[in-house]
Amino acid sequence: MKPAIERVAGGLLEKMAEHGPPVDLARRLSARLPGYTICELLNVPVADRTELLHRTQQMLATSPKAQPAAAAAKAHLRAYFTALVAERRTTPGEDLISRMTVPGPEDEEPLGDQEAAVLALTLILSGNDTATCQISNIVYTLLTRPGLWAHLLHHRDELPATLDELLRYLPFRKGVGIPRPALEDVEICGSRIRAGDYVHVSYLTANRDPAVFPHPDILDPHRPAHPPMTFGWGGHHCLATHLALAELHTAINALLTRFPRLQLAVPAHELRWDTATIRRFPLHLPVTW
């Protein structure tokens, strides 16, 4: 997928350059690169992509007034992918949906229609969600710490470690995590959890655990390597981790190369942040160069 990500990112940055500064990086890069990449992976028809990505944003809304639209968006997306799965089962291609719905080279059992549709929906939601927020969050953080941006310009080999630290340091969601039911009785640190109890596991807390990350409230790209919990762990580890990391690395690396003098076009305190969904990110990120 790396060539596809680089191709999509290059096209988006080319359009930014053609437009000229200032531009809203959140709209022109963050909101498009992950979604367009997932659509490439699933081979969603180009004519459907804008509407599809709009529906994913609606589905993530959390305010009471937005709930009817969120429910309608979810129903639309499930129906859309159910139809797309049925189409690919009949006329498969080289895309991921086709691979999920036809027998593999060793007669592996393909996924059922509902399984494939739900997995495709999950991919476009989760694969789009984290990277979209974190591209903006990371660029904002780098541009409000110009010394770090300048350092990366001359030490590009440190970008992977810097991104790991930024993913640890920067939350992209609000709240304490997804509720998960305990499957059996267990005692943790003196607290009794019974089978059927719901537990909220907070990756935010894990990423600031001083026993693992000394001085956790300090952004330190040179701290000893330790994978952050941003993408989960074990059986609940995000399926799209490698895709999201590739998108983040490609986006930041391309910005450093194409726009080395990138800076915020407005004072940082004037930026508005999302309050309507479970996510944390600047609604707009005006930049110049």
Residue 200 has pLDDT above 70, yes or no: yes
Whole-angstrom Cα distance, residue 276 to residue 119?
A: 25
User: What is the per-residue pLDDT for 277?
Assistant: 76
Digit-coded pLDDT (tens) for 112-151: 889 999 989 988 887 677 788 999 999 999 999 989 999 9
pLDDT category at 45 given cuts 50, 70, 90 is very high
pLDDT band at 230 (very low <50, low <70, confident <90, very high): confident
The reported pLDDT for the residue numbered 180 is 86
Decide which of 224 and 253 is more confident: 253
The share of the chain scoring above pLDDT 70, in percent, equals 97
Is residue 250 situated within a structural domain? yes
pLDDT score of 211: 94
Is residue 80 domain-resident?
A: yes
What would the pLDDT profile of 55-112 be if each residue is shown by its tens digit?
A: 988 887 777 888 899 999 999 999 999 999 999 999 999 999 999 888 766 657 888 8
In this structure, are residues 8 and 40 in contact, taking their beta carbons and an 8 Å threshold? yes
User: What pLDDT digit, counting tens, does each position of 1-19 carry?
Assistant: 788 899 999 999 999 999 9
pLDDT at 210 over 90: yes
User: 282 falls in which pLDDT band (50, 70, 90)?
Assistant: very high
Helix locations, 207-258, DSSP H: 241-258
**Across all residues in the chain, what is the average pLDDT?**
91
What's residue 107's pLDDT?
57
| Cα–Cα distance for residue pair 68/104, rounded to 1 Å | 40
User: 3-class secondary structure for 138-198?
Assistant: HHHHHHCCHHHHHHHHHCHHHHHHHHHHHHHHCCCECCCCCEEECCCCEEECCEEECCCCE
Task: Give a yes or no: residue 78 inside a domain.
Answer: yes
For the chain, give the number of residues: 289
| pLDDT (tens digit per residue) in 184-198 | 999 988 999 999 999
Q: Is residue 193 situated within a structural domain? A: no
Instruction: Please give the pLDDT value at position 208.
Output: 94
Specify if 38 maps to a domain.
yes
CA-CA distance, 258 to 265, in Å (whole number)? 17
Are 258 and 234 in contact, with CB atoms under 8 Å apart? no
CA dist 31 → 40, 72, 91, 130, 281 (Å): 15, 21, 31, 11, 11
Stretch (H or E) spanning 39: helix 33-42
pLDDT value at residue 198? 94
Residue 179 has pLDDT above 90, yes or no: no
Q: Which of 168, 162, 163 is nearest to 248 (CA)?
A: 163
Is residue 146 in some structural domain? yes
Q: Containing domain of residue 33, as a range?
A: 2-174+222-288
Number of domains in the chain: 1
Mean pLDDT lowest for which of 236-245, 250-259, 268-277?
236-245
Percent of the chain whose predicted confidence (pLDDT) is above 90: 62
Cis, bond preceding 160 (omega within 30 deg of 0): no
Q: Is 31 part of a structural domain of the chain?
A: yes
Beta strands in the chain (DSSP E): 23-24, 179-181, 186-188, 191-193, 198-200, 263-264, 286-288
Residue 157 covered by a domain: yes
Rg for the chain (alpha carbons), in Å? 20
17: domain CATH number is 1.10.630.10
Asked if residues 268 and 165 have their Cβ atoms less than 8 Å apart, the reply is: no
